[in-house]
Amino acid sequence: MKSKFQKIKGTYDILPPESKKWNTSISILQSLSEQFGYKEIKTPIIENIDLFKQNIGYETDVSKEMFSWEDPSGNQLVLKPEMTAPVVRAYIESGFFRSKPLCKLFYIDALFRREKPQKGRQRQFHQFGIEALGSSEVEQDVEVILLATKILYHLGISNTTLQINDIGNYETRKKYQEKLNEYFSDYKSSLSKLSQNRLGNNSLRILDSKEEEDIEIIKNAPFIKEFLTRDELNNYSSLLSHLDALGITYKENSHLVRGLDYYNGTTFEISNMSSKSQNALLGGGRYDNLVESMGGPSTPAVGFAAGIERLLIESSTEDKNETIDFFIGFESYSEGAFKIANQLIDEGYSIYIDTLKKSEKNQLKNAIKMNASFYLRCDESIKLKNLTSKEELVVNNISELKKFIKL
């Protein structure tokens, strides 16, 4: 039978048993973040559209893909498409920059982008990320990358590649972009339409293109490393040295950039070699000027974000078969069944109450199917059966029942 209503394009339902895997994975993300000293932040699902247009770059894909509208009061609102700008907005608005000179936050949230749905990428998707605000030291970059690798390890995701780069400060990128403009202009007619539009406006983002006609051209493009200052080169070298000391393998990619305009300095991305979904699992880097550009004090910052859907596709963690302690059935003696159920819940046991009032044979079949440890049937008497040993008996009260069970 076809449902009268269908889910919106680019959205999906998280149904059991997948919801169990979601909750397990979310617990891992929360636990590891807290181990590293990060605290969870939640921001509203809607924001003022200018928060994103003015801070992530109007020409970025994210800005163009936003779900936006005007409310009856004339406010231009949007379903948030990314999380760094809302986190920074909350950081400034709450005054955290005064009370927390080093502020470490993590988030798990639903985001929205009007893009072509595909496996691992939906119009409503979920993202996990961390933001560390207040430290400009390379050690903070190291910690962020270390946490990213730990996340993947504990989710059972292997065969990954960490790519890393340094895209310098504003002046460095300005000089680099001038060189890129010269280089890509010679190939303008061969570039994809998207890259042709970026040429002149933001040629740095051409390096992020996945269009087939762009890939070969990008391979021979100038490297930003040639334009980094001595301090930037020293900082980058120190970062790599720390990763070496931790045994974290990486691949330098001098063409690696991030899709949003606020990034600077350290840039990284972790991909996998699987064909289950798009390769990129998570990515991040420094954004030392964003807080100040949004009206806060000068505050260095670094972080990363990961699509939870993609993480779950690649995760190899095994789902344990769900079990319950007691399957409770009845036909007419429901008051007694609920009294026992109430006591079992207070004792900490898990229960499943069958309210369909089926036959004992039918209920027993369902109890086995649900991996119950015991089947409890309430009639004139209370029948209890151990579904592992097949032992059964009649009990008169909860005290007798507790003597029999060994959970």
Q: Are residues 340 and 275 in the same domain?
A: no
What's the whole-model pTM score? 0.86
Is the predicted pLDDT of residue 66 greater than 80, yes or no?
A: yes
Which whole number is the average pLDDT over 288-295?
95
Which whole number is the average pLDDT over 374-382?
90
Label the pairing between strands 280-286 and 301-307.
antiparallel
Q: Are residues 155 and 61 in the same domain?
A: yes
Q: Which amino acid is at 257?
A: V
Q: Are residues 262 and 346 in the same domain?
A: no
Domain that holds residue 76: 18-168+228-314
Could you give the strand order of the β-sheet that contains 301-307, starting from the edge strand earlier in sequence? Answer: 39-40, 103-112, 124-133, 301-307, 280-286, 264-272, 160-166, 251-252
Residues 6+ positions from 160 with CB-CB distance below 8 Å: 152, 270, 271, 272, 273, 281
- pLDDT at residue number 319: 61
Residues 6+ positions from 46 with CB-CB distance below 8 Å: 77, 78, 79, 80
pLDDT 10s digits, 155-196? 999 889 999 999 999 899 889 989 999 999 999 989 998 898
Residues 6+ positions from 293 with CB-CB distance below 8 Å: 55, 262
Q: Are residues 267 and 344 in the same domain?
A: no
Tokens of 95: 């005054």
Is the predicted pLDDT of residue 380 greater than 70, yes or no?
A: yes
Last residue of a domain, one of 264, 284, 314: 314
Q: Which amino acid is at 153?
A: Y
Tokens of 108: 């798990």
Is the predicted pLDDT of residue 257 greater than 90, yes or no?
A: no
Q: Are residues 48 and 127 in the same domain?
A: yes
- pLDDT at residue number 70: 94
Contact between 292 and 298 (Cβ < 8 Å):
yes
Q: With CA atoms as reference, report the closest residue to 285 among 259, 266, 311.
A: 266
The verdict on residue 140 lying in a domain is yes
Q: Are residues 56 and 125 in the same domain?
A: yes
Contact between 301 and 291 (Cβ < 8 Å):
yes
pLDDT 10s digits, 197-244? 888 777 888 988 888 899 999 999 999 999 999 999 999 999 999 999
- pLDDT at residue number 259: 63
Q: Are residues 378 and 310 in the same domain?
A: no
Is the predicted pLDDT of residue 44 greater than 70, yes or no?
A: yes
The verdict on residue 232 lying in a domain is yes
Q: Are residues 138 and 244 in the same domain?
A: yes
Instruction: Grade residue 3 by pLDDT with cuts at 50, 70 and 90.
Output: confident
- pLDDT at residue number 57: 60
Is the predicted pLDDT of residue 1 greater than 90, yes or no?
A: no
The distance from CA 163 to its chain's CA centroid, rounded to whole angstroms, is: 19
Is the predicted pLDDT of residue 58 greater than 90, yes or no?
A: no
Please identify which residue in the block is written with the tokens 């020409």. 59
Q: With CA atoms as reference, report the closest residue to 80 among 46, 115, 126.
A: 46
- pLDDT at residue number 292: 95
pLDDT 10s digits, 75-95? 999 999 999 999 999 999 999
The DSSP code sequence of 176-191 is HHHHHHHHHHTTGGGS
Instruction: Grade residue 403 by pLDDT with cuts at 50, 70 and 90.
Output: confident
Last residue of a domain, one of 314, 348, 383: 314
Q: Are residues 306 and 352 in the same domain?
A: no
Is the predicted pLDDT of residue 59 greater than 60, yes or no?
A: no
377: helix, coil or strand? strand
Return the CATH number at 72: 3.30.930.10
- pLDDT at residue number 200: 72
- pLDDT at residue number 23: 92
- pLDDT at residue number 62: 66
- pLDDT at residue number 274: 62
The verdict on residue 303 lying in a domain is yes
The verdict on residue 70 lying in a domain is yes
The verdict on residue 175 lying in a domain is no
Is the predicted pLDDT of residue 399 greater than 80, yes or no?
A: no
Last residue of a domain, one of 314, 337, 360: 314
Which of these ranges, 251-255, 365-369, 402-406, has the smallest mean pLDDT? 402-406
Could you give the strand order of the β-sheet that contains 76-79, starting from the edge strand earlier in sequence? Answer: 46-48, 76-79, 68-70
Instruction: Grade residue 269 by pLDDT with cuts at 50, 70 and 90.
Output: very high
- The number of distinct structural domains making up the chain is 2
- pLDDT at residue number 117: 76
Return the CATH number at 391: 3.40.50.800
The verdict on residue 266 lying in a domain is yes
E-strand ranges in 242-298 read 251-252, 264-272, 280-286
Q: Percentage of the chain with pLDDT > 90?
A: 67
Q: Which amino acid is at 186?
A: D
The verdict on residue 272 lying in a domain is yes
Other CB atoms within 10 Å distance of the CB of residue 88: 26
Is the predicted pLDDT of residue 407 greater than 60, yes or no?
A: no
Q: Are residues 250 and 388 in the same domain?
A: no
The verdict on residue 110 lying in a domain is yes
Q: Percentage of the chain with pLDDT > 70?
A: 95
Q: Are residues 337 and 381 in the same domain?
A: yes
Tell me how many degrees the CA angle 276-309-14 measures, rounded to the nearest 5. 115
Q: Are residues 261 and 374 in the same domain?
A: no
